[in-house]
Structure 1
Amino acid sequence: MSLDLEHVTCPMQRYPAPRSCPAPHIAGELEKLKKQIRVQEWKIAAVFSQLEDTINNTDVVPRNISIAKKDSSWDDDGSERNILLVGSTARSGTSFIGEMLAKLEPSIYFFEPELYLRVVTQEKVKEEEGINLMEDVFACNFPNNFTSWLLTRSRSNIIRHPVTWKCEGGEPTCLSTPVITQACQQEHVRIIKAIRLRMSWMRRLLENDAVDNLKIIHLVRDPRGSLYSMDKNHLHKLDTAYFCPRIHDDLTHLPQLLAQYPKRVFSLVYEKFCLDPFGEARRLWRFLMDNSSATLPSIWTQYLTKKTNDENNGKKTKVYTTRRNSSTQYQEWRNTIPDHTFTSIERDCANAITALGYNLFGNIENTRNLAIPLFMDDKTLKS
């Protein structure tokens, strides 16, 4: 008897699962088994890829791959080649900011490449491996088996660039090492979104002379909103004992880096960006351009106009979409967060919440009362 693992889709439930679904503990074991199989698949693919390279003794970019050049807002402003690292914890707005940055061409956008390490090690990303991988990606020097791992993802999931949008030769052609290396090396800006790196690790990158063109954009969000979103959408198990100290540690190191590297480290507050997207985007652009009077590029104006006023026709917003009605999104969690989830997050993340300047509500009744401001000082919204 064989088991079709690819069609086992029942999520882990907090309530009795339908009869057609396996028991939660069995589903968990099946998910682990599926991950192990995927690891072996890309390892086998890597072996075959290496054998083909040996036999053919060639590593040529396929002729059907071409990378069109377009007008560049970066070049028009006379900026130098940049590496932009967007970091935070999950569900803190990094996808929105990363996508906005990638609207500026020529650029290449790497979406959470550190996932590669999770697959390789089957462990959480550690400092040494995480920093080494970032340095490799910055330099367009991709680790062995990295491109084979890409083939286990959907096309343009990790690397977002014209070569992955239009792929006439199939995914193995688009995601081959020579193709992504060429695309990475030729683009004016390399953008990396990573949510599994800590701010305490960033000093090593900033002190590395080989990446002196690196700029770090760090997002912060009320943990009650971000952790609830992770839990609600089954992205991570609600583990406040794990996440809360890491969020607070990031906030402890962030002011030091901002003071020491004012032209290379930038901080965005998710809630402030939701309330004033054009003003915060302008502040970010001026940081990137190192020009206090630089005007917002038109492509960002168009992007923000489209993305921050979208009501989605009353339909439920998908988990990973970057469309939001930003004026209400920032504290929407207050209306729906369960009492036990709120209590757990506010208890364990109290230091991070107050460090960000947010009010501790104490109970679910105060949380639901939107007359009680999110920020301790309403002036925070106007700063």
Structure 2
Amino acid sequence: MIRTGYTMRRSWIKVPLATLLLFGSVYILTSMQDTRESLHVSSDTEERQKVLIIFTQTRSGSSFTGEVFASVNNSMYLYEPLYPFGQNCASFVEQKQRLLKQILNCDFTKLQTTYEYGFNKSDQKDYASCRKEGFCFTRQSIGLANSYRKVCSRLAPEHNGCRYPMQHRILNKVCDNSHLIVAKVTRICSLEDVEDIYRHLTAAKKDPYIIHLVRDLRSIASSRIKLNDHLNLEGIGGYVTYSYCRRQRRNLEYLKSVSDGAKMSSIIANGRYLRLRYEDMATNVIDEAKKVFEFLELPFPREVDEYVRSSLHPNITHLKQIVAKGREGSKEARKLLKKIDQPYGKVRDPLKIVNEWRSIVPFELVKRIQDECADVIEKMGYTLFGNKENMKDFSFHSFARK
């Protein structure tokens, strides 16, 4: 039996905020018959290189969450390593698994060959400069780029000033020297497909962990609207209910089958799975990050605390007042406001993140998502709204808090 930390019956919100039940925000699934003591990592395992896979979907806050853990000194952050295979998470599954097994085991020798295969077989365009720079999204992986230059200048100063494209033997060395490897993975659908990667890394003497990052489906719809892409509201509704909702439902069904004993999960049996809601991460990031590092059996780093505090600007009203009145610092405030409004940005206004969808998404679209995905919404600990008035009333929480 799997312990998820809470149960929730289907119901429409009718009670005020003060009477909402309080639920935990981080869910660690373990086998009930196993105790935490029996799963404690042995002394030789503690010396193994830790690998963190952030398993999630796009528009789920993965950029900000990934950067939090990538800010750890001596870490290697892999931002969307499966990018060349395109957006369809159900395609090229074996090839994606193979690539992750290789690079998370610090073997980058076949990276360019795999990139070429992915781009040639999928419809993905190389907007991430994967071919030119030898690695996808180097500008989103600043820590990796800096570490690469340091290692390269020491081992291969003759390599054109250590410019792009990156050498794979240098990447191997950077990876070997890293205490923590973090990979943001959005292009694999199923948690069950991550099992094979986990078992491979364990056999390779790595110390792997899986964070399952989720977000309110209605908030995802809001994020899609803000992107202003080719989808209209009806298209966004279909995309959220078909792609995002079905994917979350399948993973919940898989976890239930593990809980019921119908399937086996090494990740869960070994206590290496943690489900994290983005809303909790956004509104209580320091405490949530500390819990994650406790899950990773690592001390909470000072540099993570500093990064988080520099990335959060909750007083957006104050910033707007500075700009409007032309006061000292208005130039910096204007830049910060632009970063907060950027869809792919990493500077966050926590309250805006949690509540903005309730002002942006029409209730008709909210109702469609709730009608088709009520089971997923409630199992993730979010609140269903029965009417527009309750949705617009911010005295009601949209998710169960502690």
TM range (shorter): 0.5 to 0.7
2:131 equivalent in structure 1: 151
1:179 equivalent in structure 2: 170
Counterpart of 2:365, as a letter, is T
- Within a 5 Å distance, the mapping from 1:6-155 to structure 2 comes to 80-118=48-86, 125-142=91-108, 143=110, 144-146=112-114, 150-152=130-132
- Within a 5 Å distance, the mapping from 1:314-353 to structure 2 comes to 314=320, 315-316=337-338, 317-353=341-377
**SS class of match (1:218):** strand
* Between 208-217 and 131-140, the greater mean CA deviation after superposition: 208-217
Deviation at 1:199, TM superposition (A): 1.3
2:401 equivalent in structure 1: 381
Distance 1:123 1:236, change over 3 A: farther
1:196 aligns with 2:190: no
1:218 aligns with 2:228: no
2:221 equivalent in structure 1: 227
Any idea what the Cα deviations from partners look like across 1:84-108, whole Å, max 9, x if unmatched?
A: 1111111222211211111112121
Distance 1:123 1:203, change over 3 A: closer
Is the 1:82–1:190 Cα contact (8 Å) retained in structure 2? yes
Is the 2:64–2:346 Cα contact (8 Å) retained in structure 1? yes
Is the 1:83–1:215 Cα contact (8 Å) retained in structure 2? yes
**SS class of match (1:151):** helix
Is the 1:221–1:270 Cα contact (8 Å) retained in structure 2? yes
CA distance in 1, matches of 2:297, 2:213: 19
CA distance in 2, matches of 1:305, 1:261: 35
CA distance in 2, matches of 1:210, 1:325: 41
CA distance in 1, matches of 2:58, 2:168: 28
1:283 equivalent in structure 2: 291
**TM-score, normalisation: structure 1:** 0.67
Distance 1:318 1:221, change over 3 A: same
Is the 2:218–2:369 Cα contact (8 Å) retained in structure 1? yes
Is the 2:363–2:388 Cα contact (8 Å) retained in structure 1? yes
Is the 2:79–2:137 Cα contact (8 Å) retained in structure 1? no
Any idea what the Cα deviations from partners look like across 1:51-109, whole Å, max 9, x if unmatched?
A: xxxxxxxxxxxxxxxxxxxxxxxxxxx76411111111112222112111111121211
Deviation at 1:235, TM superposition (A): 6.3
1:245 equivalent in structure 2: 246
RCO higher in structure (CA 8 A, sep ≥6): 2
Is the 1:150–1:158 Cα contact (8 Å) retained in structure 2? no
Distance 1:114 1:311, change over 3 A: farther
Distance 1:113 1:170, change over 3 A: farther
Counterpart of 2:307, as a letter, is Y
Distance 1:327 1:231, change over 3 A: closer
Deviation at 1:141, TM superposition (A): 2.7
**TM-score, normalisation: structure 2:** 0.64
CA distance in 2, matches of 1:352, 1:258: 24
Deviation at 1:138, TM superposition (A): 0.9
Distance 1:165 1:100, change over 3 A: farther
Deviation at 1:136, TM superposition (A): 1.6
Is the 1:155–1:164 Cα contact (8 Å) retained in structure 2? no
Counterpart selection for 2:280 from 272, 279, 288:
272
Deviation at 1:173, TM superposition (A): 3.5
* Between 232-241 and 244-253, the greater mean CA deviation after superposition: 232-241
Is the 2:77–2:182 Cα contact (8 Å) retained in structure 1? yes
1:368 aligns with 2:401: no
Counterpart of 2:138, as a letter, is S
* Between 220-229 and 364-373, the greater mean CA deviation after superposition: 364-373
Count of aligned pairs between the two proteins: 295
CA distance in 2, matches of 1:289, 1:236: 44
Distance 1:159 1:306, change over 3 A: closer
**SS class of match (2:53):** strand
2:261 equivalent in structure 1: none
2:198 equivalent in structure 1: 206
CA distance in 1, matches of 2:356, 2:198: 36
Any idea what the Cα deviations from partners look like across 1:237-295, whole Å, max 9, x if unmatched?
A: 521222211012223335645983454222211122223212111111111126xxx5x
Counterpart of 2:71, as a letter, is K
**SS class of match (1:370):** coil
**SS class of match (1:173):** coil
Any idea what the Cα deviations from partners look like across 1:291-317, whole Å, max 9, x if unmatched?
A: xxx5x3211111121222354634342
Any idea what the Cα deviations from partners look like across 1:135-192, whole Å, max 9, x if unmatched?
A: 1221233334356761357761465411567899478634233332332233222211
CA distance in 2, matches of 1:157, 1:124: 27
Counterpart of 2:276, as a letter, is L
Deviation at 1:115, TM superposition (A): 0.8
Counterpart of 1:213, as a letter, is D
Gaps of 5+ in 2: 1-45, 117-128, 153-158, 259-264, 321-336
2:122 equivalent in structure 1: none
* Between 147-156 and 276-285, the greater mean CA deviation after superposition: 147-156
2:27 equivalent in structure 1: none
